[in-house]
């Protein structure tokens, strides 16, 4: 496999995003056009995995968010303030030529470790994500994420409690 760098913050002046192709044009476009400005405006932080030549092969965008307690699943809402503090994993994409090699999982593991650090410093009850489609939902469930509405197979909103992160990280290390 191509030698890859560890997850690092996107540096628009050093990383090459031009050839990134996840197979999802909207995700590619966001990386090229909006990731930099979201970072400058402090509205989303983008982490990337890149080759040694700094060509981006995967990215994840993160932002702090708040969950409406009345709409939250029991484990999130229980004895929590309203709204409930959380970390939003807004976008995740891996270049389609490097799919199935564990790169997406590696980046999510990095995001989960970041959430645990944030929780220690500022409190964050859960990591939340909206899966791109039902197929992607199964991918998140494999990592321990739970659907907001387990009774609705079409529901693509998922969460992982911060208190569950270590279990997922331990499972991935095995
Ligand atoms: C979803 C995505 C990020 C996954 O990245 P990836 O690097 O290919 O994934 P990984 O290689 O880390 O994971 C592969 C594992 O997931 C499993 N897997 C793949 N698709 C799956 C699915 N639909 N349900 C459950 N497991 C699945 C594989 O069997 C493999 O498991 P193994 O390691 O036990 O063999 C990538 O396919 C992608 O960018 N897709 C397009 C954009 C997208 O859907 N993003 C998600 C946004 S919410």
Please indicate whether residue 92, judged by its CB atom, sits closer than 6 Å to ligand 1: yes
Q: Please name each of the domains of the chain with its CATH number.
A: 8-173 (3.40.630.30)
Q: What are phi and psi of 166, to 5 degrees?
A: -60, -35
Measured in Å, residue 136 CA sits from the centre of ligand 1 at 7
- Spatial contact of 8 and 50, defined as CB atoms under 8 Å apart: yes
Report d(CA 115, CA 5) in Å as an integer.
21
Please write the tens of the pLDDT for every residue from 109-162: 999 999 999 999 999 999 999 999 888 999 999 999 999 999 998 999 999 999
Q: What is the mean pLDDT of residues 40-68?
A: 98
The answer, yes or no, to whether any atom of ligand 1 lies below 6 A from the CB of 108, is no
pLDDT for residue 57: 98
CA–centroid distance, residue 96 to ligand 1 (Å): 10
| Nearest-CA residue for atom 17 of ligand 1 | 139
Tell if the pTM clears 0.85, that is, is over it.
yes
Mean pLDDT, residues 87-105 taken together = 97
Residue 105 token pair: 């999982």
Reported residue count of the chain is 174
26 falls in which pLDDT band (50, 70, 90)?
A: very high
Q: Where are the alpha helices (DSSP H) in the chain?
A: 25-33, 35-40, 74-77, 103-122, 134-142, 165-173
Between CA 6 and CA 130 the distance in angstroms is 25
């Amino acid at each position: 496999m191509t030698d890859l760098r560890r997850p690092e913050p996107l540096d628009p002046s050093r990383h090459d995003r031009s050839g990134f192709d996840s197979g999802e044009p909207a995700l590619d476009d966001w990386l090229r056009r909006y990731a930099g400005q979201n970072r400058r405006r402090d509205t989303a932080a983008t982490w990337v995995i890149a080759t040694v030549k700094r060509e981006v092969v995967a990215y994840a965008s993160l932002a702090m968010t708040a969950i409406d307690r009345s709409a939250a699943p029991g484990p999130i809402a229980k004895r929590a303030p309203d709204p409930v503090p959380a970390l939003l994993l807004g976008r995740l994409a891996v270049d389609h030529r490097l799919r199935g090699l564990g790169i997406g999982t590696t980046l999510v593991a990095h995001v989960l470790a970041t959430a645990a650090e944030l929780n220690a410093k500022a409190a964050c009850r859960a990591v939340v994500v909206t899966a791109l489609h039902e197929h992607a939902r199964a991918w998140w469930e494999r990592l321990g994420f739970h659907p907001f509405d387990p009774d609705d197979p079409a529901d693509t909103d998922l969460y992982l409690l911060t208190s569950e992160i270590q279990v997922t990280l331990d499972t991935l290390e095995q």
